[in-house]
Homo-oligomer: A and B are copies of this chain.
């Protein structure tokens, strides 16, 4: 473990670098922060910190910058969380003062996450595994073509167009619908999906219809957890010094556009059940080695249904961002419950 002086030096080194974006030199540290040690002493300590892997020297005659490990130590032990500034509180209140549909709400959360931070905001779609199937409707669009509509307990509606191989009568569709609802309504989606996979379906239902339902559930349960996200503020990353280099932007952008990668990051945050920070290579994606990700979860009626987060340069004000993301998770949960509760 680091002794007190080393911790102090690491702390202000990280803080100063986050502030200034310049490698921090012993001279600056001694002069600017009145530590009471000479630059030479600090130099020795910094050399030790480098040896221990907390700091990095970009080149021989440069100051030092934090390594992933240095940031990690700072985040875990050295920083003081900041409360949300009044300004942000007001901005959030203002942004969510109008009632929104759930999709627009998620989108707006991503947007606000980005606007207040100039980073990229992301929100994972609600995961429906533990949602209930509320009802199934069948609507005839034209002869032989129907639309199967599924409503879930979270208010998410999914639909699929199905072609029938024979001409259907209206009363017939009605009875099929009744049968389906009788068998499946108010069961968990996951359960319904299993029942379908095991072919435990009511009799006399046309093959096309229960296949359609099965595919719809597959999309909702399997595919969306991999792909369903809102992203906002990609173009804001140009504001940051670390993304003035075309190649870095290129790398970052190709990852952000490949939504699957991001979705799976958020999905593991969702499984994690709490506030998470990943710094640089901890993310496990080489293109994001200059970035950090802060994620948290959101819930509806005490059950966690999704995740949200923020991607920015490693050199970010963690003490603020952490609070901000946490609050946004709470706000989203609250607003969602407002949509669904009286």
Give A contacts to B, CB under 8 Å: 101-102, 134-135, 137, 139-145, 147, 149, 151, 153, 155, 157, 159-161, 163, 233-235, 238, 244-246, 249-250, 253-254, 256-257, 339-342
Contact = CB atoms under 8 A, between A and B. Distances in A.
Contacts of A147: 134, 151, 155, 157
27 contacts: A101-B160, A101-B161, A102-B161, A134-B139, A134-B141, A137-B137, A139-B151, A141-B155, A142-B153, A142-B340, A144-B342, A145-B340, A145-B341, A145-B342, A149-B151, A155-B159, A161-B339, A163-B342, A233-B257, A234-B257, A235-B250, A235-B254, A235-B256, A235-B257, A238-B246, A244-B246, A253-B253
A106 to B, nearest CB: 14
Contacts of A244: 246
A157 B155 contact: no
Contacts of A163: 342
Nearest to A245: B246
Nearest to A219: B101
Instruction: Please give the count of copies of this chain that the complex contains.
Output: 2
A59 to B, nearest CB: 24
Nearest to A161: B155
Contacts of A245: 246
A130 to B, nearest CB: 15
Contacts of A139: 134-135, 137, 151
Given A141-B151, A233-B257, 6 more contacts: A135-B137, A135-B139, A137-B139, A149-B157, A235-B253, A235-B254
A245 B137 CA distance: 53
A246 B157 CA distance: 41
A238 B257 contact: no
Nearest to A216: B101
A341 B256 CA distance: 37
Contacts of A153: 141-142
Contact of A246 (B159, B233, B234, B246): B246
A159 B233 CA distance: 27
A269 to B, nearest CB: 24
Contacts of A140: 134
A254 B257 CA distance: 15
A149 B137 contact: yes
Given A102-B161, A151-B149, A141 B340 contact: yes
A140 B137 CA distance: 13
Contact of A250 (B102, B144, B238): B238
A227 to B, nearest CB: 10
Contacts of A142: 153, 340
A339 B254 CA distance: 32
Contacts of A101: 160-161
A217 to B, nearest CB: 14
